[in-house]
Amino acid sequence: MSRFSENFLNQIYQEKVFLSLSSVLGFLCVWYLVTDLLQLMPPIILPSPEKVFFNIYEKISIPVGEEKLFGHIGVSLVRILVGVGIALSLAIPLGVLMGWYENLDALASPIIELLRPIPPIAWIPLAILWFGIGLGSKVFIITIGVFFPILINTYLGVKFVEPLLIKAAQTLGAKDKNILWEVVVPASVPLIVAGVRIGVGLGMMCLVAAELVAASSGLGYLIMLGGDDLKPELSIMGMILIGVLGLIADRIILGIERRVIYWKKE
Amino acid sequence: MEENRQKDKLVAENVSVFYEKDKKNFLAVDDMSLAIQEGEFVVIVGPSGCGKTTFMNTLAGLVRPAKGKIFMDGEEITGPSAERGVVFQQFALFPWKTVFENIEFGLKYRGTPREQREEIVRKYIQMVKLEGFEKSFPHELSGGMKQRVAIARVYANHPQVLLMDEPFGALDAQTRTIMQEDLTEMFMTEKRTVVFITHSVEEAIYLGDRVVVMTARPGKIKKIIRITAEDLVPDRRQLGYDDVVNLKEFRDLKGEIWGLIKAEILEKHIL
């Protein structure tokens, strides 16, 4: 690429960054305008941005309930990570086997088709009944939320592997077992990773939902507490942090995606 | 016919195959019998949709015939095997494997030890002129290079029979000519039994010991032309492609074969 076009692309990129930054700043300005400056919204309905950010700063050192701010973030992180971990280790093997063995597919499909449309939060009462109000019930809800998108994507990935690749492997002497691990699974990786991305997004929703009900820690708990104690700055803080957490998680998965599907055409 | 089974490398006996498309069954191949000798290069040509590919997939063991049987060295074929390697028109390379790993694929299942595999892969990379691309991935290669990898992958696996399904069909004309010359050279240095499918009459005459002309669907054998045995195009394998196509013998033969195919197309209105 020539020096000139490199500069040109750089310029476009800088313009984009500028636009993105100005939209964030604009959003904060409007927020500031309707709260502090024009006082269109009383602080009890919508606190000003500086009040929210000061609140975040303050809660780093002053505990809310059982934990300080990073304690709450940590608790939520553990819940989501354990939930995602369990869902991954169940959904990927099951999806691969269901996609490959038609008998297992016929056996498992009706149950899965029946359970899949049930929103994960509908499990909350049972989860509390079975696992109490500790880590177990939250992890259970998150696992259910993450499990199905990964399962379905893995299953479809295996089911719709390019038949030509399987034929090529067969005529090169690979047996069924080799074909499953050497051809079918690698070929399904892009769809599996896409499933993980959808699953983790859903998992974040499940995390908040599970923490809104019966929790004494975590970001969802802070959001709930803000409503109960009429401290909307607490709720907004929790929402912002969930947003940031979700964004970071998505970026990490995107990075992994680029790494594992290096062989896909751009 | 019984004795052919023993004597010839690959024998198709009264093979009929159905082809499923849009939930309907078509008779793709109708009662085809063909005996291919060891070390022979047989090219099958015919109008498009005549069942050439289906017939070749049946030889590979990827498709079961509805009627008739296929034998290799006198033994009935019941499924795909490493002894019948296939080069597909769409390359069918494993996109997540490098050129080296693609060519190595079959050798792993043959139980070839690692050092020997490396040696074999290097040899065929050299044969298809892809030195320096060992670590490239298929998406980084041109169509012609991809097909070279696919050919090397099959050659390296040392099948007794090579089945090639329009391997140069997806390539541009210049690449195609070079690939045809290189394939001839490879065939001369390492004689294999080859069944080659094409719809290019020129390619068929240039490459084949025998050219099998098929009818339009359902595919049957219309005529078999014995190019090498009857020395129809002299010195064909010593000359480059461009020189061969200008020989009078070549042009006459091309006219004859094209006439057979054209008659099929016009007669059965498949245009």
Give a yes or no: residue B88 inside a domain.
no
Residues A202 and A95 in one domain: yes
Residues A87 and A208 in one domain: yes
CB contacts under 8 A, B 106-145 vs A, are 106, 109-110, 137-139
How many Å is the maximal CA-CA distance in chain A? 76
Instruction: Give chain A positions within 8 Å (CB) of B157.
Output: 172-173
Cβ-nearest to A165 among B82, B94, B154: B94
Q: Given this model, what pLDDT does residue A169 score?
A: 96
Which among B48, B63, B80, B78 has a CA at the least distance from the CA of B16? B63
Give a yes or no: residue A266 inside a domain.
no
Its pTM stands at 0.85
Cβ-nearest to B84 among A171, A178, A189: A171
Instruction: Name the β-bridge partners of B29.
Output: B17, B219
Give a yes or no: residue A233 inside a domain.
yes
Question: What does the H/E/C string look like for chain B?
Answer: CHHHHHHCCEEEEEEEEEEEECCEEEEEEEEEEEEECCCCEEEEECCCCCCHHHHHHHHHCCCCCCEEEEEECCEECCCCCCCEEEECCCCCCCCCCCHHHHHHHHHHHCCCCHHHHHHHHHHHHHHCCCCCCCCCCHHHCCHHHHHHHHHHHHHHCCCCEEEEECCCCCCCHHHHHHHHHHHHHHHHHCCCEEEEEECCHHHHHHHCCEEEEECCCCECEEEEEECCCCCCCCCCCCCCHHHHHCCHHHHHHHHHHHHHHHHHHHHCCCC
Neighbour-count burial of B31, counting CB atoms closer than 10 A to its CB (0-12 exposed, 13-18 middle, 19+ buried): middle
Which among B212, B209, B156, B146 has a CA at the least distance from the CA of B179? B146
* Helix, strand, coil fractions of chain B, as percent rounded to 5: 40, 25, 35
Between CA A45 and CA A54 the distance in angstroms is 17
Residues B263 and B141 in one domain: no
Return the CATH number at A138.
1.10.3720.10
How many contacts, defined by CB atoms under 8 Å, are there between A and B?
66
Residues B174 and B228 in one domain: yes
Residues B169 and B232 in one domain: yes
* Domain with B258 in it: 8-83+161-267
Average pLDDT per 10 consecutive residues for chain B, totaling 271 residues: 71 90 84 93 89 92 93 93 94 95 94 93 92 94 93 93 92 86 86 91 92 89 90 83 89 93 81 57
Residues A97 and A202 in one domain: yes
**ipTM for the predicted complex:** 0.89
Are B113 and B160 in contact, with CB atoms under 8 Å apart?
A: no
Residues B74 and B105 in one domain: no
Give a yes or no: residue A31 inside a domain.
yes
Mutation to test the A interface, candidates B98, B105, B124, most A Cβ within 10 Å? B105
- CA of A170 vs chain B CAs: smallest distance (Å): 6
Q: Which of these three, B113, B142, B158, is where a domain ends?
A: B158
Residues A10 and A142 in one domain: no
Residues B78 and B177 in one domain: yes
Quote the number of domains for chain B: 2
Which among B90, B89, B87 has a CA at the least distance from the CA of B106? B87
Return the residue of A nearest to B140 by Cα: A265
Residues B76 and B174 in one domain: yes
Residues B130 and B218 in one domain: no
Residues A35 and A56 in one domain: no
**Inter-chain CB proximity A172 and B106 less than 8 Å:** yes
Query: Would an 8 Å CB–CB cutoff place B16 in contact with chain A?
Result: no
Instruction: Give chain A positions within 8 Å (CB) of B88.
Output: 164, 167-168
Q: Given this model, what pLDDT does residue A27 score?
A: 94
Residues A75 and A114 in one domain: yes
Give a yes or no: residue B2 inside a domain.
no
Give a yes or no: residue A129 inside a domain.
yes
Residues B213 and B199 in one domain: yes
* Domain with A9 in it: 3-40
Please give chain A's pLDDT, 266 residues, in tens: 456 677 787 888 888 889 999 999 999 999 999 998 888 888 888 999 999 999 999 999 998 888 899 999 999 999 999 999 999 999 999 999 999 999 999 999 999 999 999 999 999 999 999 998 889 999 999 999 999 999 999 999 999 999 999 999 999 999 999 999 999 999 999 999 999 999 999 999 999 999 998 788 999 999 999 999 999 999 999 999 999 999 999 999 999 998 888 887 65
Residues A144 and A191 in one domain: yes
- CA of B134 vs chain A CAs: smallest distance (Å): 15
CB contacts under 8 A, A 193-252 vs B, are none
Residue B226 has a CB neighbour count (10 Å cut-off) of 12
Chain length of chain A: 266
Which among B156, B11, B90 has a CA at the least distance from the CA of A173? B156
Q: Which of these three, B126, B143, B158, is where a domain ends?
A: B158
Residues B165 and B33 in one domain: yes
Q: Given this model, what pLDDT does residue A4 score?
A: 66
Which among B67, B8, B69 has a CA at the least distance from the CA of B35? B8
Q: Which of these three, B134, B158, B182, is where a domain ends?
A: B158
Residues B195 and B151 in one domain: no
Mutation to test the B interface, candidates A172, A176, A188, A257, most B Cβ within 10 Å? A172
Query: Would an 8 Å CB–CB cutoff place A171 in contact with chain B?
Result: yes
Between CA A147 and CA A128 the distance in angstroms is 19
- CA of B157 vs chain A CAs: smallest distance (Å): 7
Residues A16 and A57 in one domain: no
| pLDDT tens digits along B87-125 | 999 999 999 999 999 999 999 998 899 999 999 999 999
Residues B181 and B255 in one domain: yes
Residues A116 and A28 in one domain: no
Q: Given this model, what pLDDT does residue B161 score?
A: 94
**Helix H or strand E segment including B198:** strand B193-198
3-state secondary structure at position B163:
strand
Residues A31 and A99 in one domain: no
Query: Would an 8 Å CB–CB cutoff place B67 in contact with chain A?
Result: no
Quote the number of domains for chain A: 2
Alpha helices in B190-247 (DSSP H): 201-207, 241-245
Give a yes or no: residue A45 inside a domain.
no
Residues A254 and A171 in one domain: yes
Q: Given this model, what pLDDT does residue B3 score?
A: 58
Which among B33, B29, B38, B30 has a CA at the least distance from the CA of B9? B38
Give a yes or no: residue A231 inside a domain.
yes
Residues A133 and A233 in one domain: yes
Give a yes or no: residue B135 inside a domain.
yes
3-state secondary structure at position B99:
helix
Which among A59, A55, A84 has a CA at the least distance from the CA of A73? A59
Residues B186 and B248 in one domain: yes
Between CA A173 and CA B159 the distance in angstroms is 10
Return the CATH number at B34.
3.40.50.300
Give a yes or no: residue B1 inside a domain.
no
Give a yes or no: residue B103 inside a domain.
yes
